[in-house]
Amino acid sequence: MNATKKLHDLGQSIWLDNITRDLLNNGTLARYINELSVTGLTSNPTIFNLAFKNSGTYDEPIRQKVMAGLTGEDLFFDLALEDLTRAADLFRPTFDRTNGVDGWVSLEVSPLLAHNTASTIAAAKALHAKGGRPNLFIKIPGTKEGLPAIEETIFAGVPVNVTLLFSADQYVAAAEAYLRGIERRIAAGLNPEVGSVASVFVSRWDGAVAGKVPAELANHLGIAMGERIYKAYHNMMASSRWQRINNEGAHGQRLLWASTGTKDPKASDILYIKALASPFTVNTMPENTLNAFGDHGEVGDVMATDGVAGEKTLAAFTKAGIDIDALATKLQDDGAESFVKSWVELMTGIDAKTEAARKAA
C-alpha cells in the first residue's frame, strides 16, 4: 500500500492544489485519483495564471470566446469553469459515495473583491449557479470583510472554501461565520447541510521567519501553528453549537491544510504532509509534493489534539522575538495582495490573448 493510500485510510482527504486543461486532457488527474487516492482539488488565481502562461492549450478556446464576444473576467471564468466542471465530474462518484463530505473542487471569487462584502456575496452566488455542480466550492478569503460574506453565502446555500487563514483566531472567526450561516438556515427551516472547508496556510509562516530565528527553530513555526489550530478545530467540533447543527443534519465545516509544499530546499519535501496527518481534515498538495509523497512518503503518528507541543514551540518563537499575532495579520494581508497581483497578471495575459485573437480574425 502506497503512502497516499495510507494517509487516506487514516482519515485525511488528499486534494491536488492545481488544475490545468492539460491535466484533464492527458488523463493525469484521472491517474492521480486512481493511483494516489486524490479525492478533490483546489485552484486560485496564481494557479490559473501559470496554467494560461505555460500552455498553448487555451489559445484556441480563448479565440472562440473572443469571437463570441467575451472578454476579461467573463472570459476567464468561462474557461475556469470549463476545467473545474470537468474535474468536478471526475470527483462526483466520491462526492456521492461520501454524501458530500469529499469530492470537491474550488473556484475563487475575484481577489479584487477581498474587502468588498456585498460584491463577494453576489459573485459567489453567480459563480456557483453558473458552475452547475453541487461539488463546487466558492473560495472566499477569511478577511474581516470576508466573514459576513461567508455567513451570507452559507445561508444562501452556496458551499464555501474559506481561504487565507493563518492563525487560530482567524480560523475560529471563519468557523463561527459558517456556524451562523447554518444556524440561520436551521431557524428558517432550510436544509442545514451546506459544504464548507476552512483553509489554513502553513508553509508561509516558515518563509516569513526564515533567517530571523535560531537555526533549531527553522521550519517549525508552520507546524506549531497547525497544532494550535488543530486543537481549536477539535474544541469547535466538541462545542454545543457544533453538536446542535450535527444533530440537525449538518456534517460541519472541515479543516483544510493549504500551502503544504516545502519552500526550504534544505528541508524534507514531505515535511508538512507527514507532520499534518490528521483525521477528518484535508491536505491540498502542490503537484510536485503529491508525487513526492506518493514516491517516498511515510505516515507517522497522527497530530495530537491537545496542542501542547505546538504551544511550547510557539513560546520559543515568541522568546526569539517573533510577534505571532502581528505576523498572522501580515500574512493574511500579504496573501490577499499576492492573489491580487496574480489576478492582475492573469487579466493582462487574457487581454493580450484577446487582442491577438481579434487581430487574427
Task: For 305-329, write each residue's pLDDT tens digit.
Answer: 999 999 999 999 999 999 999 999 9
227: containing domain: 3-360
Residue 330 appears among annotated catalytic residues? no
Catalytic residue among 53, 65, 130, 139: 139
Segment 325-335 mean pLDDT: 97
CATH number where 268 lies: 3.20.20.70
Strand order, beta sheet including 196-201: 38-41, 12-16, 281-285, 254-258, 196-201, 160-165, 136-141, 105-108
Segment 330-336 mean pLDDT: 95
| Number of structural domains the chain divides into | 1
Q: At what angle do helices 168-187 and 240-247 cross, to 10 degrees?
A: 40
pLDDT above 80 for 1: no
State the first-to-last Cα distance of the chain, in angstroms, to the nearest integer.
53
Q: What is the mean pLDDT of the chain?
A: 95
